[in-house]
């Protein structure tokens, strides 16, 4: 039987992939690619796009198509056998990518093409991909002496292993904690959360109710549960995951992994001639320097913190009025929700009945139709890895231009959070156009019994956020893989389309068809909508400084590690909190030990990107506020200049082409209600 990962498929055949298939397939593809590339390099000296770079792209795409479903399955259907096979491939892929990045003959061939007279005849996308490749050769240590090249390779391999292990520890620590409780212990929880807890208990063969650390269980409990002792217990378990504290202290402790990761990142950066990893990170981003990033974050903090302090004092005063002697970390969300309800008479649970997935998805697709003239059509017959998985076509004038998988609900063995990843990239494959395909993943509360899945407004914005990423990948008009979709887009610009699409979740005209009661179909009542919009910026400054806390901690961690001034990871986090935070967590809190964005994802020295891109997205949306939120020409311009361009041009150039000027910070502050 042919290994399914070695056969060509339009879409992944998930059900046919077995853990035993994975390592042999990846190993064979890597070795095959190495042989092909060496043959191509030896064939001639006057390399050009068609003779070298086009076949190289095809080889890389074949490997990506094999690895993509494996990586995805490891995140959404994790098992011991799959994890073992996945981890076995990480050093193979790391070694291969280092081999490519340090291949002097390949680097020389790229440089020859860049220096040739034919370079100017290439498309802008082709030119940009070559320019990026030459930059990446330098960042891969192509010019290093042999011993340092070998050290770079070992650093890359070990960092890949550490990132994977960090994420596994967070997943295992999350899955390890659960508790069987009674209805009396859950007083205050809305019926939707109680129903999910009942269903979780039934699925586990328990009586009563079962709570855990997955977000659809954790957040309602912290928001609504009157049982303060239970809130404290759950908060403690959640905030100490994968650490030396809490109910599983030391079992999946990421502390040593954090220290080793930071040390190896610093060594890698210095090996390449940078002073620190923050400088290395910025070599591929919009921001020019560490000073620019820190100045940007401190400016936002300076403008936000006074209002955040006012919001915090108001919350403390309210909690005291409600009988709380002292506001602890496990009380903050609970009393914030009570204060929100007192001020605005609206809660997330009030909104939930009006946001069934069966209404929200068509509403989302209608937004896309009005903005870009696209249709979305669901497909019924395809290969699934889980019954929750759905597949859709995106059509332009009746013709499919892209596809996406949708995996909406939380479950055991599925990584938490929400994300978009690419399954297929838009490019020419044997003279045929390969359509882009995306994975869109969330962790919402699943349907319970006969009741459909109902979203909170926060979850609605999460769905729109990830679909914005998906549109960036799927609506690209590029056919050069290296700059197609999100490829080649600087990390601090990649959040622009995602944060941009969230704005429609707050617009009356859009909510009129996005919302609809799951029983009656009635749109969100005007009185409830008014209160929702009034509450939009409730504690917005507190939210702002919380994100700035994460961003400053991440960036300073990678800027200051190894210097004489650096006193430790926890000490730096405490210092950042003293400067910008208004909520100080308890000493046992180990937020950093589950900060997967920077230790198991791509955001190292780049978490600031969320706020950086939010400035871009708020300013981009301000043009829609001026022209009309469904103005087709404005939508066409955004699609043309931002979504279709992918990574083919510098993001500032693309933004200016759309907005007519460079971005301003003012729309973000205005949208956040920060004066």
Q: What is the pLDDT of residues 316-357, one digit of tens each?
A: 999 999 999 899 999 999 999 999 999 999 999 999 999 999
Mean pLDDT of 396-413: 96
521 and 394 both lie in a single domain: yes
Q: Please, what's the b/e burial string for 343-382 (b: 16 or more CB within 10 A of its CB; e: otherwise)?
A: ebebbbbbbbbbbbbebbbebbbbbbebbbebbbeeeeee
Going by pLDDT thresholds of 50, 70 and 90, the confidence category of residue 449 is: confident
Q: Are residues 455 and 581 in the same domain?
A: no
Q: Does one domain contain both 78 and 32?
A: yes
Indicate whether 338 and 361 sit together in one domain.
no
The end-to-end CA distance of the chain, in Å, is 66
The pLDDT, as a whole number, for residue 430 is 80
pLDDT of residue 77: 96
Do 513 and 551 lie in one domain? The reply is no
For the chain, the domain total comes to 4
In a domain, 545, yes or no: yes
Whether 311 is catalytic is no
Q: How confident is the model at residue 530 (pLDDT cuts 50, 70, 90)?
A: very high
Q: pLDDT, tens digit, for every residue of 269-306? A: 999 999 999 999 999 999 999 999 999 999 999 999 99
Residue 277 domain-assigned (yes or no): yes
Same domain (yes/no): 327, 222: no
Evaluate whether residue 114 is within a structural domain.
Answer: yes
82 domain-assigned: yes
User: pLDDT averaged over the chain?
Assistant: 96
Average pLDDT over residues 99-121: 97
Q: Which pLDDT band, with edges at 50, 70 and 90, does 450 fall under?
A: confident
In a domain, 292, yes or no: yes
Q: Give the CATH number for residue 295.
A: 1.10.1370.10
**Segment 244-262, tens digit of pLDDT:** 999 999 999 999 999 999 9
pLDDT score, position 559: 98
Structural domain contains residue 663: no
Question: How would you label 570-598 residue by residue, b for 16+ Cβ within 10 Å and e otherwise?
Answer: eebbbebbeebbbeebeeebbbbbbbbbb
Domain with 418 in it: what CATH number? 1.10.1370.40
Do 512 and 411 have their domain in common? yes
Residues 508 and 387 in one domain: yes
From the list 60, 214, 349, 466, the catalytic residue is 466
Structural domain boundaries enclosing 120: 14-101+103-139
In this structure, what CATH number is given to the domain that contains residue 110?
1.20.1050.40
| Nearest by Cα to 308 from 617, 669, 667, 575 | 669
Could you report the per-residue pLDDT of 451-491, keeping only the tens digit for each?
Answer: 899 999 999 999 999 999 999 999 999 999 999 999 999 99
Which letter, b or e, does each residue of 260-297 get, where b requires 16 or more Cβ atoms within 10 Å of its Cβ? ebbebbbbbbebbebebbbbbbbeebbbeebeebbebb
Q: Are residues 405 and 528 in the same domain?
A: yes
Looking at the domain assignment, is residue 170 inside a domain? no
Residues 62, 90: one domain?
Answer: yes
Same domain, 260 and 342: yes
d(CA 514, CA 362): 7
User: What was the pLDDT predicted at 84?
Assistant: 97
361 and 506 inside one domain: yes
């Amino acid at each position: 039987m042919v290994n399914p990962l070695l056969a060509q498929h339009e879409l992944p055949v998930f059900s046919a992939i077995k853990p035993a298939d994975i390592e042999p397939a990846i190993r064979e593809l890597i070795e095959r690619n190495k042989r092909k590339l060496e043959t191509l390099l030896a064939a001639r000296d006057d390399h050009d796009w068609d003779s070298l770079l086009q076949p190289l792209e095809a080889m890389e795409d074949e490997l990506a198509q094999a690895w993509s479903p494996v990586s995805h399955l490891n995140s959404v259907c994790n098992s011991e056998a799959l994890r073992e096979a996945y981890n076995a491939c990480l050093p193979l892929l790391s070694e291969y990518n280092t081999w490519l990045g340090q291949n002097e003959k390949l680097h020389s061939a790229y440089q020859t093409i860049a220096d040739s007279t034919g370079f100017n005849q290439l498309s802008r996308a082709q030119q940009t991909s070559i320019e990026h490749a030459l930059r990446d050769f330098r960042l891969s240590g192509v010019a290093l002496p042999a011993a340092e090249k070998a050290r770079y390779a070992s650093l890359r391999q070990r960092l890949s292993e550490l990132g994977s292990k960090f994420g596994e520890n967070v997943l295992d620590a999350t899955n390890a904690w659960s508790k069987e409780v009674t209805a009396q212990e859950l007083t205050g929880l809305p019926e939707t959360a109680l129903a999910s807890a009942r269903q979780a208990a039934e699925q586990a063969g328990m009586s009563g109710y079962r709570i855990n650390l997955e977000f659809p269980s954790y957040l309602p409990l912290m928001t609504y549960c009157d049982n303060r002792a239970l809130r404290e217990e759950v908060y403690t378990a959640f905030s100490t995951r994968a650490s030396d504290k809490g109910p599983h202290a030391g079992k999946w402790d990421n502390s040593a992994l954090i220290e080793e990761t930071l040390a190896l990142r610093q060594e890698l950066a210095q090996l390449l001639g940078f002073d620190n990893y923050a400088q290395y990170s910025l070599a591929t981003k919009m921001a020019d320097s560490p000073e620019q990033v820190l100045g940007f974050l401190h400016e936002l903090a300076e403008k936000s913190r006074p209002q955040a302090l006012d919001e915090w004092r108001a919350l403390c005063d309210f909690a005291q009025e409600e009988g709380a002697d002292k506001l602890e970390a496990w009380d903050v969300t609970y009393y914030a929700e009570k204060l929100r309800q007192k001020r605005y008479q609206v809660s997330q649970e009030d909104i939930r009945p009006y946001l069934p997935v069966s209404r929200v998805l068509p509403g989302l697709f209608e937004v896309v139709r009005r903005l870009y003239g696209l249709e979305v059509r669901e497909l019924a017959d395809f290969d699934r890895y889980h019954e929750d998985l759905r597949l859709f076509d995106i059509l332009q004038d009746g013709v499919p231009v892209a596809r996406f998988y949708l995996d909406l609900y939380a479950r055991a063995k599925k990584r938490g959070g929400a994300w978009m990843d690419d399954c297929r990239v838009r490019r020419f494959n044997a003279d045929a156009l390969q359509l882009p395909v995306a994975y869109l993943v969330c962790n919402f509360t699943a349907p319970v019994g006969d009741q459909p899945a109902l979203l909170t407004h926060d979850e609605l914005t999460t769905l729109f956020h990830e679909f914005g990423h998906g549109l960036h990948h799927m609506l690209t008009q590029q056919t050069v893989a290296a700059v197609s979709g999100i490829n080649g887009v600087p990390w601090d610009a990649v959040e622009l389309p995602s944060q941009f699409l969230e704005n429609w979740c707050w617009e009356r005209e859009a909510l009129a068809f996005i919302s609809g009661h799951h029983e009656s179909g009635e749109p969100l009542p005007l009185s409830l909508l008014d209160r929702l919009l009034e509450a939009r910026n409730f504690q917005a400054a507190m939210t702002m400084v919380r994100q700035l806390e994460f961003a400053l901690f991440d960036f300073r961690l990678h800027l200051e590690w190894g210097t004489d001034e650096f006193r430790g990871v926890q000490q730096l986090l405490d210092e950042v909190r003293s400067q910008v935070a208004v909520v100080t967590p308890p000493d046992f809190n180990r937020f950093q030990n589950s900060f997967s964005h920077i230790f198991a994802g791509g955001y190292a020295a780049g978490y600031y990107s969320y706020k950086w891109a939010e400035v871009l997205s708020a300013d981009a949306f301000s043009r829609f506020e001026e022209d009309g939120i469904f103005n087709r020409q404005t939508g066409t311009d955004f699609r043309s200049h931002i979504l279709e361009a992918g990574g083919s041009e510098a993001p500032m150039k693309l933004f200016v082409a759309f907005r007519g000027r460079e971005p301003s910070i003012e729309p973000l502050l205005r949208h956040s209600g920060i004066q």
